[in-house]
């Protein structure tokens, strides 16, 4: 019954995400905002709300490895989403014209993976009274805002020919209010989904919190990214879709800082270090770093590739993901 309730809650998260995407696209059309800002900041923040809420709530429930696994698992799954959508819209070859800003942000994500890995090996905390903030999460927090500021100033993402959202008859006020309504609903169902996940861990201890966080919760909270990426690509907003996925992964790392603020015991890195599942989390970071490097190479050579090598690159990333997930939990 718990698994059925989990699927129902996840379905409502997807439904609300579809509508949030439509209203954010309509807001972009009405307000004529830079697509880089919309993709890297607005879309990434909205689609990462489930990860933020579920990871924060998991910390409050006393499930640090579920929280950490959700963040890392979502980031890895985001790369898988991007690759699958690329195959679905193969004729458009969406990786042919990836903006320089998107490519540069990938390098930042590689750096954040390195910082997270160092944090798992050396979980040192800052000497701040009443808080348990790790050096790793504080560094990630600072880098995140530096990247956001630089992206906002550069506005490098290319404008694209795209379909209309179909909501241009609404005023900006109507678009914002309806969009906020769906965001609130998405928040509610995300919290319900986390609570159900916690009950699954209690009812089925053999599954483990890390597995629930890395697979079930990570995949479920990444469904908004899947829906928004597909919808945006269908509408012709390929670079916004890519920026949204990359920005979401960027924001997910920043959630580590938020969980540190909410932790009443140790920092999330210290709690992960003491967990018996620490090796799984390390492998997840290595996987995320490896797939990000792989994707950055793919972006560089995509234009030069013929159809079969182009498809092979995507299938290779999917194969690596599936093998590593199977290896971690076998």
Answer yes or no: is pLDDT of 157 > 70. no
Q: Which of 101, 86, 71, 7 is nearest to 254 (CA)?
A: 71
The confidence score (pLDDT) of residue 117 equals 93
pLDDT tens digits, residue range 199-237?
887 787 767 666 776 677 788 878 777 877 887 788 777
Which one is predicted more confidently, 147 or 143?
A: 143
Please report how many Cα atoms fall inside a 13 Å half-sphere around the Cα of residue 220, on the Cβ side.
33
CA dihedral 269, 275, 280, 282 (to 10 degrees): 30
pLDDT confidence tier of residue 119, bands split at 50, 70 and 90: very high
Q: Which of 148-157, 227-236, 304-313, 318-327 reaches the highest mean pLDDT?
A: 304-313
Higher pLDDT, 153 or 64: 64
How high is the pLDDT of residue 36? Answer: 53
Across 29-39, average pLDDT: 59
pLDDT of res. 269: 92
The domains of the chain, with CATH numbers, are: 2-328 (1.20.1420.30)
pTM for this model (two decimals): 0.82
The confidence score (pLDDT) of residue 155 equals: 53
286-315 pLDDT, tens digit each? 888 888 998 888 888 888 888 899 999 889
Q: What is the pLDDT of residue 158?
A: 47
pLDDT at residue number 154: 62
Mean of the pLDDT values across residues 49-68?
Answer: 84
């Amino acid at each position: 019954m718990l698994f059925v309730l989990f699927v129902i809650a996840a379905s409502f998260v997807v439904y609300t995400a579809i509508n949030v995407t439509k209203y954010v696209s309509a807001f972009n059309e009405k307000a004529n905002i830079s697509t880089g800002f919309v993709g890297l900041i607005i879309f990434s923040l909205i689609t990462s709300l489930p990860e933020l809420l579920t990871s924060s709530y998991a910390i409050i429930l006393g499930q640090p490895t579920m929280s950490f696994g959700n963040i890392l698992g979502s980031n890895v799954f985001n790369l898988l989403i991007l690759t699958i959508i690329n195959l679905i819209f193969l004729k458009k070859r969406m990786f042919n014209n990836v903006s320089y800003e998107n490519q540069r942000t990938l390098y930042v994500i590689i750096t954040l993976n390195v910082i997270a890995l160092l944090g798992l090996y050396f979980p040192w905390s800052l000497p701040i009274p009443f808080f348990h903030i790790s050096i790793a999460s504080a560094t990630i927090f600072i880098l995140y805002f530096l990247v956001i500021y630089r992206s906002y100033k550069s506005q490098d993402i290319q404008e694209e020919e795209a379909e209309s959202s179909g909501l241009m008859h609404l005023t900006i006020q109507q678009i914002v209010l309806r969009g906020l309504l769906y965001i609130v609903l998405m928040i509610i169902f995300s919290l319900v989904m986390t609570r159900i996940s916690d009950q699954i861990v209690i009812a089925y201890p053999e599954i483990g919190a890390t597995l629930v966080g890395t697979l079930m919760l990570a995949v479920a909270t990444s469904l908004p990214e899947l829906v928004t990426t597909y919808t945006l690509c269908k509408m012709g907003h390929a670079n916004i879709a890519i920026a949204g996925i990359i920005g979401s992964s960027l924001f997910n790392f920043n959630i580590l800082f938020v969980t540190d603020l909410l932790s009443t015991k140790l920092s999330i890195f210290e709690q992960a270090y003491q967990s018996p599942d620490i090796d799984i989390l390390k492998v997840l970071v290595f996987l995320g770093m490896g797939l990000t490097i792989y994707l950055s190479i793919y972006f560089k050579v995509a234009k030069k590739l013929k159809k079969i090598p182009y498809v092979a690159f995507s299938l290779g990333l999917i194969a690596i993901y599936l093998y590593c997930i199977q290896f971690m939990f076998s």
